[in-house]
Amino acid sequence: MNNVLAIAHKELRSYFASPIAYIVIGFFALLFGWFYIGILDWFVRQGMQMGPMGMGQSNMNVNQQMVRPLLLNMTVVFLFLLPLITMRTYAEEKRSGTIELLLTSPLTDVEIVAGKFLGAMGLYAAMLAVSLLHFGLLFAFGTPEWKPLVTAYLGLLLFGGCFISVGLFISSLTKNQIVAGAATFGVFLLLWVIDWIGQGMGPRAEAVLKYLSMTEHLDDFVKGVIDTKHLVYYLSFITFGLFLTVKSVDSERWRG
């Protein structure tokens, strides 16, 4: 476990030693603030239109009518930002030649992959932490429910974990960061819209593709509902992505 944490710390430190961490967090903070202000403005105007002197505002739910659409809309932003986090994890190691030092070190493939995954998740968690400042304002001036918000962030962590596990695998297949980033974005986009593809393909195919959709499983979390089928989907997806990455790293070791 110490080896895994050491690699995770090294990865996280390397993110902040380059512009990547600051670009990702800064861009996310900018877009999240813009979405937050836009949806908050809509929410306030809707409340004022429900009756004179604010009558009827009690019928509006902050979590369902503001927090939920805000977080679901931000998943689009993740399509662009998460490839920036994962594209360099292995591609840069291969380009610079440090992958050979890593593979000849007394570390197992599982430890290497797990450490890089935790390092990328650390940056992703730091990115999400920025958004908590905005929700702090909601608790200061409004009455949102905290339990659905905690559940929503759990879903976002699992959602991001799936994308990161896939991104690590794709990065392990190439030496070029741009290729890794572009391929990762393409796969992310496919997983994000796969339920759209199933529309009109028949009930069975539509049900299968809907189950494979990343956002379909996130919706219940954002509503404040923890369903075991969604947990199984996300954890299985993460495990499978990391398994493929371990196999890819193992093949690199044998080729080296």
3-class SS letters over 104-125: CCCCCHHHHHHHHHHHHHHHHH
| 241 has a pLDDT exceeding 50 | yes
Q: Minimal CA–CA distance to 153: which of 193, 124, 115, 120?
A: 124
- Contact between residue 83 and residue 177 where contact means Cβ atoms under 8 Å apart: no
Place of tokens 């009827």: 56
Interatomic CA distance for residues 158 and 141, integer angstroms: 29
The tally of CA atoms less than 13 A away on the side-chain side of residue 191 is: 23
Element (H, E) at 223: helix 214-223
Give the chain's length: 256
Across the range 113-139, mean pLDDT stands at: 91
| pLDDT (0 to 100) of residue 152 | 93
- Contact between residue 118 and residue 112 where contact means Cβ atoms under 8 Å apart: no
Give ∠ CA 85-217-77 in degrees, rounded to 5. 35
| pLDDT (0 to 100) of residue 243 | 95
Place of tokens 């200061």: 140
**Coil/strand/helix, residue 243:** helix
> Which of residues 167 and 100 earns the better pLDDT score?
167
Confidence class of residue 20 from pLDDT cuts 50, 70 and 90? Answer: confident
The number of distinct structural domains making up the chain is: 1
- Contact between residue 37 and residue 59 where contact means Cβ atoms under 8 Å apart: no
| 251 has a pLDDT exceeding 60 | yes
Residue type, 132: L
Q: Which tokens sit at 152? A: 């929503």
Across the range 155-166, mean pLDDT stands at: 94
Q: Minimal CA–CA distance to 117: which of 172, 177, 183, 76?
A: 172
| 52 has a pLDDT exceeding 60 | no
Q: Find the range with the poorest average confidence among 1-10, 80-89, 193-202, 240-249.
A: 193-202
| 115 has a pLDDT exceeding 80 | yes
Q: Which domain holds residue 108?
A: 2-255
The tens digit of pLDDT for each residue in 187-207 reads 988 888 887 776 667 777 777
| pLDDT (0 to 100) of residue 253 | 66
Q: Tell me the whole-structure pTM to 2 decimals.
A: 0.88
Mean pLDDT, the chain, integer: 85
